[in-house]
Amino acid sequence: MDLPIFLIQILNSVQYGLLLFLVASGLTLIFGIMGVINLAHGSFYMLGAYAAFTLSSLTGNLFTAIALGVILAVAFGYALEWVFFSFLYKRDHLQQVLLTYGLILVFEELRSLAVGDDVHGVPVPASLSASIPLGSTMTYPLYNLFISAACLVVAALLFVLLRCTKLGMMIRAGAANREMVQSLGIDINFLFRVVFALGVALAAFAGMIAAPASSVYPGMGNQVLIICFVVVVIGGIGSVIGALVAALLIGFIDTFGKVFLADYSGILVYLLMAIVLVWRPEGLFRENAA
Amino acid sequence: MAGNDHGQQRRRIVQALGAAGALGAMGAAAPAFAQSTKLKVGFMLPYTGTYAALGRAIENGFKLYVSEQGGKLGGRELEYFTVDDESEPAKAPDNVNKLIKRDNVDVIVGTVHSGVQMAIVKAARDNNTLLIIPNAGVDEATGPLCAPNVFRVSFSNSQPGLAMGIVAALRGYKTAVTITWKYAAGEQSIGGFKETFEKGGGKVLKELYVPFPNVEFQALLTEIASIKPTCTYAFFAGGGAVKFVKDYAAAGLKDKVALLGPGFLTDGTLDAQGAAADGLLTTLHYADNLTTPRNTAFRLAYAKAYSSKADVYAVQGYDAAQLLGIGLRAVGGDIGQRPLLIRAMAAAEIDSPRGKITLSPSHNVVQDFYLRKVENGENKSIGLAAKALADPGRGCTMG
């Protein structure tokens, strides 16, 4: 492997890692702060991608579609928490798994009824459809770089929100000690509803922004869900920084695994997870949550 | 009431015509009596999930041929049993037993998913049930697991690859890289391509694999760019096919390294692939623009009956019914005469909408493969890739 190709592969790794982070960050928030195992997280990703497909063909503009979609996702997440998840905090994890698994089936079926089982594509917006030549035979699509930039911006915003705002402080306090926060007069139910809505919006946003570079198809969420749980477990449950580091790590392992250890590339990521769990059962960034 | 009488009358006429036809064809040797009981046909197909549309197209195609024959095959009326296999291999043994043990069907028509197909083939072998495979391409079904009572009218996974290897070598491509998911269907397709491409003087430089059903191709596309072959042979389907074709174009490889594949790479996915698929070459046993009178008539009849466009799956279902019809006519509808029935089916020459097809000694379909080019969102045939191409049927000890 010569140097230019090696550098392109590093770019590929970072790009895949950042996208993984975007999906997994919502999962780690909901999982870490609310203690809810949300198997339906991948479905929100899928719904986001289908929303991008439907809304962008209705409005004719991907960015309008994404803006609309994020608003819808926040409202949807807020309502879901109210109707279903708010009853789950005091129940055990098995009931959470049952509910969220049920939601996967419901969402898939609703999707099938609403838009059918066909595979769809979302056109890349004209302003971002250019490619940058890299090396002699390859070009790099500008849209992929745009995805990476968007992921970085979201990561920074999330970090600022959790670290530097009052809301972030309340969220972190609520994660650490629910009763104490409640006794200080903070509406914990509202707080959790906001966190859940934020988590859903992050997953849906990831689905929407990835849709033009990827494709939109039934069952796409479940595939993402598994790798997201790996990210969350490696990074440390509830840690946004941990999710970022773990996602980038997986990006590198997956990319270079496919190139150098093709026969084992399917298991490398899970091997990494096993090693991290043996070494640090709490994940890489557990103790300093956020 | 009047309409009913009229219908019965017409059916009797058709019956009489059918009987006369059968008598004419076989002389006085086989008595063409109508059996009193109905022949039980069991559809084991996906009616829900990703492949639901394929299952329905196959059943529609099958029933279209039967209705063209006046609702009877070989003088026997048919009774249908259906089981939704959900494309779920884990449930397949139970599902196939519902048809064999509970419904006691005479013949099974199924299925689409290769994993489910393996279970059906095993059950059909164990119970000696007549089986016609209308889609799943898993090589083993007409390879190591071949059996006298197992027939396939669709394709084997190797076949489109074998056809494309011939085309690639003829076009003067010297080197190739192959890429697919690491699972049986992909590996068998690659195996077919490699066999004929290297026989024609080409060389496969590297076989790249992605874990199934992962769709992160960027790393391997970069690998292809660094190897710089003259062509890439790719096997993907559904969402993976859409993403691969788009990624390939976005990586700037499309104009520098020719992308080839089996028809599944661009079938049912062209709308989603858009301009990224333009000019792509694929091989399949069917194309959207075959203008033979046979195909035109078939597509018209299908559109009339189901108000939807016929596709390759509908053709395969239609031909499954044709094959069964040929067998049943040879025994005058008496499915008990198994050896005679099987001999007639194995020797069948079927006038398929895709062209004439026959069966190989391992009971896999022998057929022409079309070279197709994507133009204006359609898979247009631009000529024959291979004539009467047979799967070698490796591992089959029959015939």
Cβ of B182 within 8 Å of Cβ of A217? The answer is no
pLDDT for A139: 85
**Does residue B2 belong to any structural domain of this protein?**
no
Contacts of A67 (CB under 8 A, 6+ apart): none
Among B361, B366, B328, residue whose Cα is nearest residue B346:
B361
Evaluate whether A53 touches A216 at the Cβ level (below 8 Å). Answer: yes
Residues of chain B with Cβ-Cβ distance to A143 below 8 Å are 250
Structure tokens at B214: 């992962």
**Does residue B46 belong to any structural domain of this protein?**
yes
- Pick the more confident residue, B340 or B31: B340
pLDDT for B7: 44
| Domain shared by B82 and B162, yes or no | no
pLDDT for A287: 53
- Using a pLDDT cut of 70, give the percent of chain B over it: 91
| Domain shared by B213 and B138, yes or no | no
pLDDT for A1: 66
User: B216 and chain A: CB distance < 8 Å anywhere?
Assistant: yes
Residues of chain A with Cβ-Cβ distance to B210 below 8 Å are 258, 265
**Does residue B37 belong to any structural domain of this protein?**
yes
User: B291 and chain A: CB distance < 8 Å anywhere?
Assistant: no
Evaluate whether A239 touches A285 at the Cβ level (below 8 Å). Answer: yes
Domain count, chain B: 2
Identify the band that residue B399 occupies on the pLDDT scale cut at 50, 70 and 90. Answer: low
Contacts of B211 (CB under 8 A, 6+ apart): A265, A266, B181, B182
Residues of chain A with Cβ-Cβ distance to B272 below 8 Å are 118-121, 215-216
**Does residue B25 belong to any structural domain of this protein?**
no
**Does residue B367 belong to any structural domain of this protein?**
no
- Pick the more confident residue, B135 or B51: B135
Among A5, A250, A17, A268, residue whose Cα is nearest residue B223:
A5
ipTM for the assembly: 0.84
Tell me the range of A36-50, A257-271, B37-51 where mean pLDDT is highest: A36-50
**Does residue B68 belong to any structural domain of this protein?**
yes
CA distances from B37 to A97, B78, B79 (A): 51, 9, 9
- Among A13, A119, A139, whose Cβ lies nearest the Cβ of B252? A139
For B50, the closest chain A residue by CA position comes to A117
| Domain shared by B346 and B376, yes or no | no
Strands B107-109 and B130-133: parallel
Residues of A near B (Cβ–Cβ under 8 Å) read 1-2, 5, 8-9, 12-13, 15-16, 117-121, 123, 131, 133, 135, 137-141, 143-144, 213-220, 223, 254-256, 258-259, 262-263, 265-266
Identify the band that residue A265 occupies on the pLDDT scale cut at 50, 70 and 90. Answer: confident
Evaluate whether B265 touches B234 at the Cβ level (below 8 Å). Answer: yes
| Domain shared by B117 and B49, yes or no | yes
Cβ of A12 within 8 Å of Cβ of B252? The answer is no
| Domain shared by B149 and B279, yes or no | no
**Does residue B265 belong to any structural domain of this protein?**
yes
Task: Convert the pLDDT of each residue in A140-184 to its tens digit.
Answer: 889 999 999 999 999 999 999 988 999 998 888 887 888 888 898
Task: Convert the pLDDT of each residue in A74-101 to its tens digit.
Answer: 999 999 999 998 888 888 889 999 999 9
Binding-face residues of B in 26-55 toward A, CB within 8 A? 49-50, 52-53
| Domain shared by B138 and B162, yes or no | no
Using the predicted structure, report yes or no on whether residue B34 has a pLDDT greater than 60.
no
| Domain shared by B148 and B176, yes or no | no
* DSSP state string for A27-93: HHHHHHHH----TTHHHHHHHHHHHHHHHHHHHS-HHHHHHHHHHHHHHHHHHHHHHTGGGTTTS-H
In terms of residue numbers, what domain contains B107?
33-155+290-359
Identify the band that residue B382 occupies on the pLDDT scale cut at 50, 70 and 90. Answer: very high
Cβ of B272 within 8 Å of Cβ of A118? The answer is yes
The whole-number average pLDDT for the span A46-60 is 93
DSSP letter at B362? Answer: T
Using the predicted structure, report yes or no on whether residue A189 has a pLDDT greater than 80.
yes
pLDDT for A76: 96
Evaluate whether B88 touches B110 at the Cβ level (below 8 Å). Answer: no
Q: Residue A184 carries which side chain, given as an amino acid letter? A: L
Using the predicted structure, report yes or no on whether residue B33 has a pLDDT greater than 50.
no
The whole-number average pLDDT for the span A265-273 is 90
Strands A138-141 and A131-134: antiparallel
Using the predicted structure, report yes or no on whether residue B25 has a pLDDT greater than 60.
no
For A120, the closest chain B residue by CA position comes to B272
The whole-number average pLDDT for the span B159-179 is 96
| Domain regions of chain A by residue span | 17-116+139-217
Best interface-test mutation with A: which of B56, B207, B218, B254 has the largest number of A CBs within 10 A?
B218
Cβ of B209 within 8 Å of Cβ of A8? The answer is no
Cβ of B219 within 8 Å of Cβ of A219? The answer is no
- How near does any CA of chain A get to the CA of B224, in Å? 9
Using the predicted structure, report yes or no on whether residue B276 has a pLDDT greater than 60.
yes
**Does residue B116 belong to any structural domain of this protein?**
yes
Using the predicted structure, report yes or no on whether residue B27 has a pLDDT greater than 50.
no
* Domain containing residue B213: CATH number: 3.40.50.2300
Evaluate whether A122 touches A212 at the Cβ level (below 8 Å). Answer: yes
pLDDT for B22: 44
- Among B215, B222, B253, whose Cβ lies nearest the Cβ of A12? B222
Task: Convert the pLDDT of each residue in A227-263 to its tens digit.
Answer: 999 999 999 988 889 999 999 999 999 999 988 888 8
- Using a pLDDT cut of 90, give the percent of chain A over it: 54
Using the predicted structure, report yes or no on whether residue B10 has a pLDDT greater than 50.
no
Residues of chain A with Cβ-Cβ distance to B211 below 8 Å are 265-266
pLDDT for A71: 96
Using the predicted structure, report yes or no on whether residue B24 has a pLDDT greater than 50.
no
Containing B288, the helix (H) or strand (E) segment is: none
Residue B355 to residue B220: CA distance in whole angstroms: 38
Cβ of B271 within 8 Å of Cβ of A121? The answer is yes
Residues of chain A with Cβ-Cβ distance to B222 below 8 Å are 5, 8-9, 12, 138, 259
Best interface-test mutation with B: which of A138, A252, A261 has the largest number of B CBs within 10 A?
A138
| Domain shared by B179 and B266, yes or no | yes
Alpha helices (H) along A116-219 = 142-164, 166-176, 178-183, 188-210
Residues of chain B with Cβ-Cβ distance to A128 below 8 Å are none
Structure tokens at A30: 């909901």
For B207, the closest chain A residue by CA position comes to A262
Task: Convert the pLDDT of each residue in B194-242 to its tens digit.
Answer: 999 999 999 999 999 988 878 889 999 999 999 999 999 999 988 889 8
Cβ of B269 within 8 Å of Cβ of A137? The answer is no
| Domain shared by B267 and B382, yes or no | yes
Binding-face residues of B in 139-198 toward A, CB within 8 A? 182
User: B239 and chain A: CB distance < 8 Å anywhere?
Assistant: yes
pLDDT for B117: 95
pLDDT for B13: 45
| Domain shared by B150 and B165, yes or no | no
- Among A13, A215, A254, whose Cβ lies nearest the Cβ of B246? A215
SS3 B84: strand
Identify the band that residue B267 occupies on the pLDDT scale cut at 50, 70 and 90. Answer: confident
| Domain shared by B52 and B124, yes or no | yes
Evaluate whether B341 touches B327 at the Cβ level (below 8 Å). Answer: yes
| Domain shared by B221 and B334, yes or no | no
The whole-number average pLDDT for the span B358-383 is 94
Radius of gyration of chain A (CA): 19
Task: Convert the pLDDT of each residue in B346-364 to its tens digit.
Answer: 999 999 999 999 999 999 9
- How near does any CA of chain A get to the CA of B275, in Å? 10
pLDDT for B31: 43
DSSP letter at B278? Answer: T
The whole-number average pLDDT for the span B105-122 is 94
- How near does any CA of chain A get to the CA of B85, in Å? 17
